[in-house]
Copies of this chain bind each other. A is one copy, B any other.
Amino acid sequence: MEHVEVFKALSNKARLQILQWLKDPTKNFPAEGCCENGVCVGQIQLKMGVTQSTASEYLSLLQRTGLLIVTRQGQWTYYKRNENAIKELGKLILEDL
């Protein structure tokens, strides 16, 4: 993944917001939408206040750039932060940007 793609993913208020919410799933989402693999799409959609398709696209975009980790579990798809990737990005900016 090119760095420019990661920055594109981050250059949107709603997507940045998702990353913030996912820092503390149980605080920001009802427990039934959370598991150890993150938060399901539907709960994130509700909180975002956009259509299901938009929420799904934003989440899969963040996943493609490596910022989120996706886990399918039954009929649910859970997304959680990829803390490692975020740390790497921070280091990259400090060292290489």
Interface residues of A (CB under 8 A from B): 3-5, 7-8, 10-13, 16, 19, 86-87, 89-95, 97
State the main secondary structure of chain A at its contact with B.
Answer: helix
Please state if A93 and B97 are interface contacts (CB–CB under 8 Å).
Answer: no
Q: A4-B10, A4-B11 are in contact. Are A97 and B86 (CB under 8 A)?
A: yes
Please state if A86 and B90 are interface contacts (CB–CB under 8 Å).
Answer: no
Please state if B91 and A19 are interface contacts (CB–CB under 8 Å).
Answer: no
A7 touches which of B7, B92, B94 (Cβ 8 Å): B7
Complex: A23 Cα to B68 Cα, angstroms: 31
Looking across the interface, which residue of chain B has its beta carbon closest to that of A8?
Answer: B11
Which of chain B's residues have a CB closer than 8 A to the CB of A87?
94
